[in-house]
């Protein structure tokens, strides 16, 4: 009887502990709000659901779009104004997926309402806007991050680790991202100046993030490029020089498909991240064995590492609008983890590096002659 009694008491305690764990899990489940109902918002909503986040509310300036999107993804509520989602006390973080031109206004209003914010890249079109957003987040003591999903892919994390621990002194980084937006008239968001279009802000931020993530802030930027008839850049090439002696080169285009890969070279070897290196699942390293004399890396140890996406990386995954979008889940998980720990930034995407990318982007635009109405 005594043993039965002890077993009964132990069972009750275990049930109580299990209930407490479930309550804690429910409490820490991140409640997401999304502003905008476009293609990237669709892909991100799928990632939230996959990462175990809560689809709390979506906002659009179109009641019809908000309702449709909410039903499609299973959001609890939908709003026909952004102001309503800023005021929703049941939301832990807002993901902003509007066109680039609207990022600054949306981010600042969300921060003013003491909301945690994840904004799709670029955080803002200009340096001064980016600085104001970062300053406001720090003033309000809330979370802010620029949504550069590349930084969170397991392959990219692995490449950064190898670069820091195995390559020795870094000598160069090469990275490109370009696609053919079509041979017809240059129209649409990518080419519209008032929507902050252009190759640099649309896809050039990915090569730039590779470079800044590995080398930090450059001491010199030299850029050239061509402009579309609308006044935005359609091809950009830039060389960045660093105080450590390393040199980086980036390219971005909306008129042609580039190699879309990334090469990192150090004294002890090479990392190659093949296309598409903005959302990769594979990397190859060639490392010189310690103490060997192999100037051409002919006897280097070659290792190929694959971190498959789910579903595996092969064009568009079902239900998504962009190649590799199933990898958004890594970004969502990192943000949720940071929020649960009470952090105000993500270690993989620190705000200081967001500021560097914004500064370099503005310098490149200045050199190639691209201006926006928000420039000061």
What is the C-alpha to C-alpha distance for residues 362 and 357, in angstroms, rounded to an integer? 9
β-pair type (233-241, 247-253): antiparallel
Q: What is the pLDDT of residues 228-251, one digit of tens each?
A: 999 999 999 999 999 999 999 999
Query: Cα separation of 309 and 327, whole Å?
Result: 6
Report how far residue 39's alpha carbon sits from residue 2's, in angstroms, rounded to the nearest whole number. Answer: 63
The two tokens of residue 102 are: 């609207």
Contact at 8 Å (CB) between 123 and 107?
Answer: yes
- Positive or negative, the CA dihedral 266, 271, 272, 276 is negative
pLDDT at 153: 97
User: Is residue 61 within 8 Å of 81, Cβ to Cβ?
Assistant: yes
pLDDT tens figures, 65-80: 999 999 999 999 999 9
Helix (H, G, I), strand (E, B) or coil at 75: coil
Provide φ and ψ at 128, rounded to 5°: -65, -35
Parts of the chain with a pLDDT under 50: 1-27
What pLDDT is attached to residue 299? 85
Element (H, E) at 262: strand 262-266
How crowded is residue 161: how many other Cβ atoms within 10 Å of its Cβ? 10
Distance CA 162, CA 168 (A): 9
Whole-number pLDDT of residue 185: 65
Least Cα distance to 63 among 81, 86, 45 occurs for 81
- Tell me the CA end-to-end span of the chain in Å, nearest whole number: 82
Instruction: Identify which of 132, 354, 172 has the alpha carbon closest to the alpha carbon of residue 263.
Output: 172
- What is the residue whose two structure tokens read 């889940």? 329
Give me the pLDDT at residue 46, please: 97
């Amino acid at each position: 009887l005594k043993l039965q009694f002890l077993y009964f008491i132990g069972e009750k305690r275990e049930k109580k502990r299990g209930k407490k764990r479930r309550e804690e899990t429910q409490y820490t489940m991140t409640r997401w709000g999304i502003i905008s109902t476009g293609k990237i918002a669709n892909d991100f909503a799928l990632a939230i659901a996959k990462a175990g986040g809560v689809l709390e509310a979506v906002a659009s300036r179109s009641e019809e779009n908000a309702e449709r999107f909410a039903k499609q993804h299973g959001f609890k509520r939908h709003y026909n104004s952004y102001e309503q989602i800023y005021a929703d006390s049941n939301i832990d973080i807002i993901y902003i997926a509007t066109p680039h031109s609207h990022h600054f206004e949306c981010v600042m209003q969300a921060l003013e309402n003491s909301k945690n914010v994840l904004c799709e890249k670029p955080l803002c079109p200009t340096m001064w806007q980016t600085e104001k957003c970062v300053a406001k987040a720090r003033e309000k003591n809330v979370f802010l991050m620029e949504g550069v999903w590349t930084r969170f892919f397991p392959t990219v994390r692995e490449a950064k680790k190898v670069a820091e621990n195995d390559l020795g002194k870094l000598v160069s980084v090469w990275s490109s991202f370009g696609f053919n937006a079509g041979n017809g008239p240059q129209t649409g968001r990518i080419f519209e100046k008032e929507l902050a279009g252009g190759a640099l802000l649309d896809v050039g931020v990915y090569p730039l993030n590779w470079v800044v993530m590995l080398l930090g802030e450059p001491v010199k930027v030299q850029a050239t490029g061509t402009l579309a008839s609308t006044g935005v850049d359609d091809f950009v090439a830039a060389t960045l020089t660093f105080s450590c002696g390393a040199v980086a080169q980036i390219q971005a285009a909306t008129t042609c498909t580039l190699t879309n890969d990334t090469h990192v070279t150090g004294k002890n070897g090479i990392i190659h991240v093949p296309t598409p290196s903005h959302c990769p699942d594979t990397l190859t390293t060639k490392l010189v064995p310690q103490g060997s004399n192999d100037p051409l890396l002919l006897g280097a140890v070659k290792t190929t590492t694959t971190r498959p996406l789910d579903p595996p990386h092969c064009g568009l995954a079902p239900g998504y609008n962009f190649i590799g979008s199933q990898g958004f889940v890594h970004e969502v998980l990192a943000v949720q983890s940071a929020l649960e720990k009470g952090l105000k930034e993500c270690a993989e995407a620190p705000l200081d590096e967001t500021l560097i990318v914004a500064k370099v982007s503005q310098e490149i635009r200045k050199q190639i002659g691209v201006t926006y109405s928000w420039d000061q």
